[in-house]
C-alpha cells in the first residue's frame, strides 16, 4: 500500500527518489519523505504530510547538495498513526545513524516498543515502523550492518517490505521482505535500485528481480547480493527484462491516468490477445507444458478468486467457463475464501485474478487453495509478481502498467484473458464444436474495434455526467452477464466520486431496492438487445419509469423501444451477449470519470484508497 524507493549509485539521489515516489504515489498518498546518505555526513531526512508535491517543495527549499548519491524514500498510506509529518517515513533511531522505510504492519510493535522504551529508546512517531529503527540501533552495537538487520527482523512479527540505510555504510542499502507487498531490485550500471513496483524505476532500468518472502538484498552501486533471512545463505536470482515503456508509466498529456487508461483499452486488449488468438481465423493457442497438461483435460470444478474489480471480472469468467465447459464454477471473494471450507482438492482448477499480483487477500486465498491440492492459474498484469510466482500456470494480461487507482484497462484485459482461456479449454476438452469455437474466436478478435467505436461517445457521456453529477445515490441494474457490470460500474462511481452507488441484479429490484426509487435516485440499466433477458429488462425499465425514476439505459443502437422508456441513453454497437461486458463497461467508466471530474475529486488518487492492498 505504501510505496518505497531506494537508490545507490553515482548520481544525486534526491531527484531519482522523488521521481520514483511520484510514480508510486498511487500506492499511498497521505505523506512522504526521503533520507539521504553520504559517508562522513549526518543522514539528511525530509518528510512532509500531504502529497508528493509537498515533499518536492520541502526538498527544493532545503537546497540539498548533489553529493548525496544514496538514499531511500517512501509514500505513506497510514495504518498506525495520523498522516502528519512525524509519522511519515523514513524513521530513524535515537542517534540518527540509520533510516528505515516500511510497508506492512508490525503486529507485535506494542510489546517491542515497551521493551525498547524501558531500555531508554526515545520514540518520535506513533507508527509501528519506528520500532524497527530502534531494533536496528541495538543490533548495530553488537553486529555488523547485515547482521543487525537479520537480528532485528527476526524479532518482528507481521508483514514487511523494508528498505534500510546506515550512515556507517551509506552506499549499502538493505531491502527485505516478508509479506508487506512487493519489493523489486532494479539493476543498473554503477547504480542499483529498490522499489515497491516496477513503474517507479522504468526511467532507469528494465532489468529487475523480485525479492521473495524471507529474503534480504544487500544493494550497493556495483553489486546486489541476496541472502535468506533465516540462515544467511546466498540465493541466486535470475533478472527479468520487462517490456513496459517509460511512456506507459506517464500521463502523456492526459489530465489523468484514469482517462488515459480508459481510452487505451482497445490497445491493451489487443496486447492481451496477441500471440494467443488469431483474430482472422479465430484460432487459439497457448504454449508450454502446463497448457498441454492432462490436468487441464480432466479437472472437475473451477473456483475463481479475486478482490474488487478483479472479482467482478471473475464473475463474468465464471459464467463463461460454466457455459462453455459445462463444469461447475464458482466465484469467491478472496478475503472470504478461507473462512469457508469449500470442497476443493486435486480435481479443482483455481483461477486467481489480480492486476497487481500482490493483493494480500488474494495471495492468502491462493495459498489456501494450493494447500488443499488445487492447481492454480494466475491471470495477472504484473510480470514476476507473487501471484505469478506461486501459480502453476500464468496468463499475463499485458495491459501495461495501470497507475490510476480505479482499475479500468486491467479489468477489460482480465475479461480478454478469461474469454481466451475459456475458448482454449473448450478446445482442449472438446466442449464446443470446432466451427463455433473459431467463430467465437473471431468475434473476440473483433472486440477491440467495437471498443474503439464506443469510446468515441466520450463527449456525450460528459454531457450526461454534467446533468447527473448533482445526485447523491445511484442504482445500477443488470441481468446475467451484465450483472457484474452493474457491480463494477457502481464501484467505479463510488470510489472516485464518493457518490453512493449500488449494483443489483435487475430481478432483485422488486425484492427491496425498488422502494428507493424516486426523482432523486437515477437508475442506470444495462438493456442490451442481445441479452436473453431483454424483455424482462424492458419490464424493469417500465417499473422504474412508473415510479418517476430517472432512467439512463445502455441500449443497442436502433433499439427504439428501450430508447423510448429511458430519460437518457448510451448507445452501443450490436454485440453478441457474452461479449457485451467489454463494451458496456466503457461508457460507465467514462461516466464515473466525468462525474468525478465535475465534482473536482482527486481522480487518480481517491481518498483512503491504495492501488495495491497489501495488508489484510
Q: Where along the sequence are the contacts to ligand F6R (CB under 6 A)?
A: 307-310, 354-356, 359, 362, 406-407, 491, 495, 612-613
Q: What's the min distance (Å) between Cβ of 182 and ligand F6R?
A: 11
Angstrom distance (rounded) from CA 554 to CA 537? 11
Select 313 or 527, whichever has its Cβ closest to ligand F6R.
313
Q: Any idea what DSSP says for residue 277?
A: B
Q: What's the min distance (Å) between Cβ of 261 and ligand F6R?
A: 11
Helix (H) or strand (E) holding 240: strand 240-241
Select 30 or 488, whichever has its Cβ closest to ligand F6R.
488
Radius of gyration of the chain (CA): 25
Q: Which of 51, 113, 172, 611 is catalytic?
A: 611
Q: What's the min distance (Å) between Cβ of 356 and ligand F6R?
A: 3
Angstrom distance (rounded) from CA 382 to CA 365? 18
Select 497 or 612, whichever has its Cβ closest to ligand F6R.
612
Q: What's the min distance (Å) between Cβ of 353 and ligand F6R?
A: 7
Specify the residue for cell string 531508554.
120
Angstrom distance (rounded) from CA 616 to CA 614? 7
Report CA-CA distances (Å) from 595 to 132, 331, 492, 585: 43, 30, 11, 15
Contact 332, 304 (CB under 8 A): yes
Report CA-CA distances (Å) from 243 to 182, 351, 420: 19, 25, 22
Select 88 or 305, whichever has its Cβ closest to ligand F6R.
305
- Helix H segments across 430-469? 434-455, 458-468
Q: Which of 2, 172, 177, 270 is catalytic?
A: 2
Angstrom distance (rounded) from CA 52 to CA 74? 10
Select 193 or 593, whichever has its Cβ closest to ligand F6R.
593
- Tell me the three cell numbers of residue 182: 512487493
Q: What's the min distance (Å) between Cβ of 312 and ligand F6R?
A: 8
Q: What's the min distance (Å) between Cβ of 402 and ligand F6R?
A: 8
Report CA-CA distances (Å) from 35 to 47, 89, 167: 8, 9, 10
Alpha carbon 69 to its chain's center: 31
- Helix H segments across 430-546? 434-455, 458-468, 483-497, 534-546
b/e code 16-40 from CB counts within 10 Å (16+ = b): bbbbbbbbbbbbbbbbbbbbbbbee
Q: What's the min distance (Å) between Cβ of 307 and ligand F6R?
A: 4
Contact 234, 225 (CB under 8 A): yes
Specify the residue for cell string 494480461.
397
Select 30 or 495, whichever has its Cβ closest to ligand F6R.
495
Task: Reduce the secondary structure of 147-174 to three states and give it as a string.
Answer: HHHHHHHCCCCEEEEEEEEECCCCCCEE
List Cβ neighbours of 430 (8 Å cut-off, separation of 6 or more).
Answer: none
- Tell me the three cell numbers of residue 294: 492432462
Select 8 or 612, whichever has its Cβ closest to ligand F6R.
612
- Tell me the three cell numbers of residue 314: 471473475
Select 308 or 580, whichever has its Cβ closest to ligand F6R.
308
List Cβ neighbours of 292 (8 Å cut-off, separation of 6 or more).
Answer: none
* Closest residue to ligand F6R, based on beta-carbon distance: 308
Angstrom distance (rounded) from CA 354 to CA 314? 10
Q: What's the min distance (Å) between Cβ of 40 and ligand F6R?
A: 43
Angstrom distance (rounded) from CA 391 to CA 284? 22
| Per-position DSSP letters for 28-61, written without gaps between them | --SEEEEEEE-TTS--EEEEEES-HHHHHHHHHH
Q: Tell me, yes or no, if 2 is annotated catalytic.
A: yes
Q: What's the min distance (Å) between Cβ of 343 and ligand F6R?
A: 25
Select 125 or 265, whichever has its Cβ closest to ligand F6R.
265
SS3 (DSSP) at 568: strand
Angstrom distance (rounded) from CA 466 to CA 477? 21
Q: What's the min distance (Å) between Cβ of 409 and ligand F6R?
A: 11
Select 59 or 353, whichever has its Cβ closest to ligand F6R.
353
Q: Any idea what DSSP says for residue 350?
A: E
Q: What's the min distance (Å) between Cβ of 491 and ligand F6R?
A: 6
| Per-position DSSP letters for 284-296, written without gaps between them | B---SGGGG-THH
Select 169 or 495, whichever has its Cβ closest to ligand F6R.
495
- Helix H segments across 223-343? 257-263, 265-273, 295-298, 308-325, 334-337
Residues recognised as catalytic: 2, 611
Amino acid at each position: 500500500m505504501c510505496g518505497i524507493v531506494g537508490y545507490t549509485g553515482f548520481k544525486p539521489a534526491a531527484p531519482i527518489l522523488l521521481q520514483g515516489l511520484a510514480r508510486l504515489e498511487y500506492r499511498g498518498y497521505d505523506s512522504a519523505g526521503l533520507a539521504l546518505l553520504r559517508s562522513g555526513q549526518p543522514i539528511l531526512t525530509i518528510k512532509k504530510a500531504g502529497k508528493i508535491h509537498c515533499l518536492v517543495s520541502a526538498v527544493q527549499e532545503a537546497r540539498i547538495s548533489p553529493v548525496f548519491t544514496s538514499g531511500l524514500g517512501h509514500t505513506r498510506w497510514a495504518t498506525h498513526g495520523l498522516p502528519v509529518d512525524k509519522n511519515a517515513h523514513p524513521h530513524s533511531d535515537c542517534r540518527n545513524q540509520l533510516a528505515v522505510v516500511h510497508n506492512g504492519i508490525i503486529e507485535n510493535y506494542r510489546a517491542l516498543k515497551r521493551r525498547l522504551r524501558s531500555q531508554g529508546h526515545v520514540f518520535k512517531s506513533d507508527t509501528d515502523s519506528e520500532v524497527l529503527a530502534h531494533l536496528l540501533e541495538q543490533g548495530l552495537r553488537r553486529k555488523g550492518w547485515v547482521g543487525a538487520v537479520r537480528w532485528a527482523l527476526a524479532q518482528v512479527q507481521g508483514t514487511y517490505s523494508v528498505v534500510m540505510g546506515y550512515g556507517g555504510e551509506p552506499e549499502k542499502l538493505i531491502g527485505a521482505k516478508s509479506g508487506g507487498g512487493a519489493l523489486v531490485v532494479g539493476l543498473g550500471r554503477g547504480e542499483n535500485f529498490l522499489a515497491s513496483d516496477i513503474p517507479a524505476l522504468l526511467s532507469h532500468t528494465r532489468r529487475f528481480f523480485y525479492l521473495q518472502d524471507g529474503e534480504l538484498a544487500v544493494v550497493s552501486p556495483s553489486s546486489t547480493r541476496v541472502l535468506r533471512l533465516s540462515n544467511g545463505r546466498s540465493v541466486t536470482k535470475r533478472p527479468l527484462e520487462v517490456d513496459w515503456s517509460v511512456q506507459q508509466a506517464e500521463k502523456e498529456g492526459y489530465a489523468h491516468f484514469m482517462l488515459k487508461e480508459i481510452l487505451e483499452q482497445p490497445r491493451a486488449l489487443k496486447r492481451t490477445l496477441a500471440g494467443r488468438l488469431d483474430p482472422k481465423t479465430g484460432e487459439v493457442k497457448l504454449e508450454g507444458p502446463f497448457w498441454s497438461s492432462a490436468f487441464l483435460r480432466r479437472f472437475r470444478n473451477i473456483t475463481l478468486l479475486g478482490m474488487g474489480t478483479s472479482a467482478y471480472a471473475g464473475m463474468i469468467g465464471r459464467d463463461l467457463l460454466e457455459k462453455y465447459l459445462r463444469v461447475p464454477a464458482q466465484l469467491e471473494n478472496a478475503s472470504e475464501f478461507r473462512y469457508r471450507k469449500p470442497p476443493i482438492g486435486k480435481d479443482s482448477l483455481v483461477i486467481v485474478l489480480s492486476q497487481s499480483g500482490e493483493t494480500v487477500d488474494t495471495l492468502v486465498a491462493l495459498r489456501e487453495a494450493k494447500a488443499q491440492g488445487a492447481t492454480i492459474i494466475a491471470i495477472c498484469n504484473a510480470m514476476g509478481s507473487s501471484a505469478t510466482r506461486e501459480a502453476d500456470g500464468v496468463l499475463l494480461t499485458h495491459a501495461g502498467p495501470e497507475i490510476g487507482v480505479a482499475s479500468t484497462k486491467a479489468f477489460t484485459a482480465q475479461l480478454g484473458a478469461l474469454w481466451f482461456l475459456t475458448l482454449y479449454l473448450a478446445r482442449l476438452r472438446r466442449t464446443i464444436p470446432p466451427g463455433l469455437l473459431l467463430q467465437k474466436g473471431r468475434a473476440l478478435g473483433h472486440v477491440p474495434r467495437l471498443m474503439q467505436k464506443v469510446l468515441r461517445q466520450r463527449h456525450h457521456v460528459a454531457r450526461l455526467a454534467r446533468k447527473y453529477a448533482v445526485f447523491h445515490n445511484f442504482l445500477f441494474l443488470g441481468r446475467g452477464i451484465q450483472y457484474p457490470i452493474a457491480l463494477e460500474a457502481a464501484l467505479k462511481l463510488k470510489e472516485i466520486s464518493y457518490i453512493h452507488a449500488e449494483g443489483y441484479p435487475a430481478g432483485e429490484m422488486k425484492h427491496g431496492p425498488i422502494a428507493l426509487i424516486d426523482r432523486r435516485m437515477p437508475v442506470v440499466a444495462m438493456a442490451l438487445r442481445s441479452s436473453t433477458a431483454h424483455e424482462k429488462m424492458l419490464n424493469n425499465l417500465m417499473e422504474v419509469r412508473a415510479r418517476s425514476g430517472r432512467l439512463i439505459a445502455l441500449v443497442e443502437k436502433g433499439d427504439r423501444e428501450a430508447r423510448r422508456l429511458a430519460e437518457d441513453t448510451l448507445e452501443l454497437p450490436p454485440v453478441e451477449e457474452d461479449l457485451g461486458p467489454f463494451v458496456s463497461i466503457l461508457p460507465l467508466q467514462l461516466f464515473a470519470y466525468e462525474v468525478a471530474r465535475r465534482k473536482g475529486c482527486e481522480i487518480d488518487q481517491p481518498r483512503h484508497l491504495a492501488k495495491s492492498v497489501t495488508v489484510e
